[in-house]
A = this chain, B = another copy of it.
């Protein structure tokens, strides 16, 4: 086993069963909302990372499955709240939960999934795991908040962009890796390595996601240029702004500030960013983070799980949906 995609596919039934068990205790009125977001075709990246780090450190039993599911529950909770805030109508090509169940039911279902994630983790009676989950929740909210504060701000620095994606995406992926390692009784250096791997992988994952927003096929279920429509200044736009002159930059700054992008502007920007090869450039920057991730776990003992973790980096590099 060294192919990450195969690993994901192989573990999906196990994770699906775990999620079904954990959510069966949810109040009846919350279950349909939970099921809607949990069954929307996610890759189960976070649970897979929990399980892979546990396996890489010698824990291969089924005891890790609920822990892995807790990370997917947390992730789903943030998706529910996130889609409300973004006023998103579609996720992975399907109507978002709040379009079907209303804002109220969706806020509450998000809270319930958050609580469920905490309950599942508390069962492990390891306070470090509970702390890790809570910190990831907090950091994710912080990253989302930062992103909102910087909406429309084309003068956002690379460091600001990085802080946003570290918060909204990387921290939870970091927590997945770290919690898997902790579960397996990792030594301090091994746990630190897992955290480092996850943080770097998470940043790369979001960078590729941001590149895909300009170049994706319709497989993602998201329209191209979605981030522009929400006036999010992601890395592709940041790099594009370095290629143009002052007058054009000022014009774009004002259009972002005043939320005045037209459909023509969006079509022009998405085409131009691809023509300039900026999406490839973004992927190259992501690769530097993937290399960092690979380095972090170099000292891990050889195993099929370690191979799969290495392949996860390649999986993200190749990612096209």
Give every chain B residue within 8 A of A140 (Cβ-Cβ).
111
Interface contact A115-B130, CB-CB below 8 Å: no
Cα A107 to Cα B110 in complex, Å, equals 10
Give every chain B residue within 8 A of A118 (Cβ-Cβ).
118, 130, 133-134, 137
Q: A29-B145, A145-B105 are in contact. Are A138 and B119 (CB under 8 A)?
A: yes
Interface string of A20-53 (1 = CB under 8 A from B): 0000001101100000000000000000000000
Q: Determine the main DSSP class of A at the interface with B.
A: helix
Which residues from 117 to 151 on chain A have a C-beta closer than 8 Å to any C-beta of chain B? 118-119, 121-127, 130-131, 133-135, 137-138, 140-142, 144-146, 148-149
Give every chain B residue within 8 A of A109 (Cβ-Cβ).
141, 145
User: CB within 8 A of A29: which of B84, B119, B138, B142?
Assistant: B142
Interface contact B115-A122, CB-CB below 8 Å: no
Interface size, chain A (Cβ < 8 Å): 44
Give every chain B residue within 8 A of A308 (Cβ-Cβ).
none
Q: Does A173 contact B (CB under 8 A)?
A: no
Interface contact A114-B114, CB-CB below 8 Å: yes
Give every chain B residue within 8 A of A121 (Cβ-Cβ).
130
Give every chain B residue within 8 A of A141 (Cβ-Cβ).
27, 30, 108-109, 111-112, 115
Cα A155 to Cα B183 in complex, Å, equals 50
Q: Does A104 contact B (CB under 8 A)?
A: yes
Cα A278 to Cα B255 in complex, Å, equals 59
Interface contact A125-B127, CB-CB below 8 Å: yes
Interface contact A148-B104, CB-CB below 8 Å: yes
Q: Does A184 contact B (CB under 8 A)?
A: no
Give every chain B residue within 8 A of A111 (Cβ-Cβ).
78, 81, 110, 114, 137, 140-141
7 cross-chain CB contacts under 8 A: A30-B145, A85-B104, A105-B148, A109-B141, A111-B137, A118-B133, A122-B134
| Further 5 A-B residue pairs, CB within 8 A, beyond A85-B107, A114-B114, A119-B135 | A30-B141, A84-B107, A105-B148, A109-B145, A111-B140
